[in-house]
Structures are given as C-alpha cells and as structure tokens.
Amino acid sequence: MKKIFLIVLIISASVTFAQQINIPIRVTDGAASDTVRFGLDPTATDGIDPSLNEFELPPSPPSGIFDARFVGDGIGIPIGQGMKRDYRAGGTNTSGQRIHRLKYQVGSGSSIRLSWSNIPTNITVRMQDIVVGFIIDTTFTGTGTYLLTNPNGITSLKFTVTYYQPTLLNVKLIQEGLYLPLQNILNASDTCRLYLRQSVSPFSIVDSAKSVIDSNTFTGSFFLKIAPSGTYYLAVKHRNGLETWSRTGGEAIIREDTLNYDFTDDSSKAFGNNLKLTETIYCIYSGDCNQDGLINSTDKLQLIGKLGSDGYIPEDINGNGFVNAIDRATLVSNLGRSKITP
C-alpha cells in the first residue's frame, strides 16, 4: 500500500531591509518541522554565501527521518548537499525569474498540505513537481493553501519565482474645482485613485493605485503591482470629482513599463468626451460629493448642509479648506452630469 504523506509549507514573505527579500517556508510532516528560506540579496551568488548564513548541510538522513532543504540538482546551482537558505543576487528593484528546488523527506507524516501567507503582490511562485512538471503545477502569491497528495513518491518541488517591478502610469488630469485658470495651477495638490479595468464586459477592476496630483504639473504617478500586460480602461476618482474613464477601446499596457496619459488636452481622452473645457484646458467635472456617479440635488443638499464647515471634506470643491458659496456655484453649474462608462 502506497503511503500518502503530508507536508505543510507555511510561506510568509517579508522585505527585511531595503535591499533584501526574504521568504521563509515552514515545512512539516505533521510531526517534525523545519524552516527554509529563499529570496534576494545584493551580495548573494548562486553558490554558498556564509555571510548570508548559507551553509552546506550534511547528506540527507536515512529514510523515515524528516528533512527539508534546498538543493541544486537539476537546476545548475552549486550548493553541494543542500542548504536551509538559498538567496540569489538581486534586491527590491529586481525583475526576472529565479529557480529553486525544494527537497523533502517524510518522517511519520501521512498527508501533504501547503499554506502560504504574505507573499508580496509583485512576486509569484510557480510550483511544479520535478518528475514531469504537470502532476503538480500551480502558481501562488499572497495568502492561500494547497492540498498535495503524493501517490507517485514525489519528493522534490521546483519553485520558479518571478519578481516584477511596478507598472508606472503617469496620468495628467485637472479637477475642475481646484483649477485656477489665471495662474494655470491647482489651488491644492490632492489625492486621486486610479482603477485599471478590463477592456471588455464586465469591465472588472484588475488593479488600482493612489497618487497625489501635483498642483503645478497636474500629474500623478500611479504604481500598479498586479495587472499583467493587456488592454485596460483607466478610471479616475477624486473625492468630489465625477468618475472619469479613458477613451474608447482602452489603453495597451505592458507590465513593468511606463505609460503616460493626458486627460487635459482633448475631450476625446475621456470615454464619452466626459470632460469640461475651462479656458483652453479640459477638466474633470467637480461636484459629485457622495461619489455615486451623478451630480444632482443630493450632492447639492449635502454641500448646503456643510456651508461654513472647514477641513478636508468632499464638499470643499475648490480645496481652500472652507465650504462656501463658491463651492456651491461650481456644483450647481454641473447639475445633471453623470459618469459615462462603456
């Protein structure tokens, strides 16, 4: 009768300091356990690095005694009998792949379960069996669990770790209420959130990021960590601005690349031409205080209820820290406007 055993791998990732990525894996067969680690360090080599607490282990123990280690067999890594730690050259600015091989030996366990937590979103791990590569073939990041049975005597796993750098979107936009045409600046720099949405129905959100729109350049830099390469709509939201989507068809975005997008130079840059011309520049409509996608009497009543109030609140349309008749006038000028989406 073939023995089915359990190994629990609990993966918790962390960036221990600015230039090192450290991902511990706890391996247990339900009775004994150990922790191995992989990641990146700027001083690391593909070999054994004592300065990073990498040391070659003795040969694997006899059958029936639990053991877990990284080995270099089959992947061209010169680490002898194996190590508990396997760091490779790189750091937080690294992109690309690193391959590790985890070898384990069961003691008295009887089944396998893998659990992981806190893998950063810009790191993915593809786990495959060493035998053929498709008996076990799954990719994980973040937090999750994977049940693994081993009827074929699989005792090694290949980890293909992919490190991604963020995709940078430099977006130029102007919130109408904050714009001072004579000076050609914003009254204040303010935060916007950008949502990356699929270009086909149901236009689901794939990624998002926040940035402060600079009062002089009208530009914010949004760093996206999850979205793969593809075509997406850019949807921008501001605390009292009307949600605005990018032009028809979406934008081609390449992961880890940079895209510059300007909402201010042409009304067609917004889906449905949903921008307001102020002097010679296009702005996002202001006045959607409750962020329901429509500027209407509900927003107007909400603002009237805050007249005389101060602070960082959505009813302060012009960003001067005080709600007054000027804010009300801007909102009223946009009554009936709504977000336009595919």
pLDDT tens-digit readout, 28-83: 888 888 888 999 999 999 999 999 999 999 999 998 888 999 999 999 999 999 99
Euclidean distance between CA atoms 138 and 143, whole angstroms: 14
Q: How many CB atoms lie within 10 A of CB 211?
A: 17
Q: What is the mean pLDDT of the chain?
A: 91
To the nearest 10°, the Cα dihedral for 239, 241, 247, 248? 90
**Which range, of 13-27, 163-177, 195-209, averages the lowest pLDDT?**
13-27
Please measure the distance between the N-terminal and C-terminal CA atoms of the chain and give it in whole angstroms.
Answer: 59
Euclidean distance between CA atoms 195 and 38, whole angstroms: 33
pLDDT score of 91: 86
User: One-letter amino acid identity for 101?
Assistant: R
262-272 residue pLDDT tens:
999 999 999 99
pLDDT-based confidence at residue 13 (cuts at 50, 70, 90): low
Judged against a pLDDT cut of 90, whether residue 146 lies above it is answered with no
Residues paired with residue 289 on neighbouring β-strands, in sequence order:
none
161-200 residue pLDDT tens:
999 999 999 999 999 999 999 999 999 999 999 999 999 9
Judged against a pLDDT cut of 70, whether residue 292 lies above it is answered with yes
Say whether the peptide bond before residue 78 is cis (omega within 30 degrees of 0).
Answer: no
User: One-letter amino acid identity for 196?
Assistant: L
Average pLDDT over residues 280-296: 97
Q: Residue 214 is encoded by which pair of tokens?
A: 């600079």
pLDDT score of 11: 52
Q: Residue 288 is encoded by which pair of tokens?
A: 């959607």
Residue 130, φ and ψ in degrees, nearest 5: -80, -20
Residue 48, φ and ψ in degrees, nearest 5: -95, 125
Q: What percent of the chain has pLDDT over 70?
A: 93
pLDDT score of 302: 98
pLDDT-based confidence at residue 16 (cuts at 50, 70, 90): very low
Euclidean distance between CA atoms 160 and 126, whole angstroms: 5
pLDDT score of 192: 98
The sign of the torsion formed by the CA atoms of 146, 150, 152, 155 equals: positive
Judged against a pLDDT cut of 60, whether residue 12 lies above it is answered with no
The more confident residue out of 9 and 58 is 58
pLDDT score of 144: 80
Residue 298 carries which DSSP code?
A: H
Judged against a pLDDT cut of 60, whether residue 312 lies above it is answered with yes
Domains and CATH numbers, the chain: 8-163 (no CATH), 167-333 (2.60.40.4130)
Judged against a pLDDT cut of 80, whether residue 150 lies above it is answered with no
Euclidean distance between CA atoms 106 and 5, whole angstroms: 7
pLDDT-based confidence at residue 18 (cuts at 50, 70, 90): very low
Cβ atoms of 288 and 335 closer than 8 Å: no
How are beta strands 20-28 and 14-17 bridged, if at all?
antiparallel
Residue 286 carries which DSSP code?
A: B
Judged against a pLDDT cut of 70, whether residue 4 lies above it is answered with no
